Amino acid sequence: MFGKSVIELESPSANGLYDVYETKQANIVMLGDSLIAFPSWNELLGREDVVNRGIFGDTTKGVLNRLEYVCRLKPIVCFLMVGVNDLTGPDTPEEISRNIAAITSRLSDSNIRVIVCLVLLTDNYWMNIKIAEINKHLRVLNNVEILDMNTIFASGGILGKEFTYDGTHLTGRAYSLFSDRVLELLHD
């Protein structure tokens, strides 16, 4: 047990939940870390065709290791938000960006429309320097669309206090604004 990471222990794909879920197809998959995992996207978006595949504490490597569970759902579109948790480990912004590029490539190769949510800035100045570097790389990815919630939540270069309760995670008001942008992109 001590040899496994927290992600491996808590990941539904690791403990078999994704194998027993009855959902065979979802038009929209929300994929990523706790920023995706927290809300009920069906309720936020007012749709029944959304599956949440966010995992608390997940990293880009965790997402890469469980992409089969996303592709199996044959979604039309996948929103991806991941990367901030990688910054607590040894990976550089370049490595994190490469992992995200690999995720988007595999999803695109499966004919899935990929919308990358740029890594959300935090209330930590030093972490935001690394996040800005990751986001610079993400902006030039091929075959993806970009959703930049930082323009709303962190217009001053730091996550606004009115949008977070702990410096990283979002409030209900923030998720309301986030879902509005998701819906706009779904209607494009």
Which residues on adjacent β-strands are paired with residue 145?
115
DSSP symbol at 149: T
CATH says 6-180 is which class?
A: alpha beta
Instruction: Report phi then psi at 55, rounded to 5.
Output: -130, 130
- What's the first-to-final CA gap in the chain, in angstroms? 46
Q: Coil, helix or strand for 122?
A: coil
Question: Which tens digits make up the pLDDT trace of 110-149?
Answer: 999 999 999 999 999 999 999 999 999 999 999 999 999 9
Domain positions in the chain: 6-180
Question: Which tens digits make up the pLDDT trace of 156-185?
Answer: 999 999 999 999 999 999 999 999 999 999
DSSP symbol at 120: P
- Residues with Cβ < 8 Å from 162, sequence gap 6 or more? 171, 173
Q: What pTM was computed for the model?
A: 0.91
Give the DSSP H/E element, type plus range, for residue 142.
Answer: none
d(CA 139, CA 117): 10
H-state helical runs in the chain: 6-10, 12-15, 17-20, 34-37, 41-45, 60-65, 67-71, 93-109, 125-138, 150-153, 172-186
Question: Which tens digits make up the pLDDT trace of 57-103?
Answer: 999 999 999 999 999 999 999 999 999 999 999 999 999 999 999 99
Q: Coil, helix or strand for 112?
A: coil
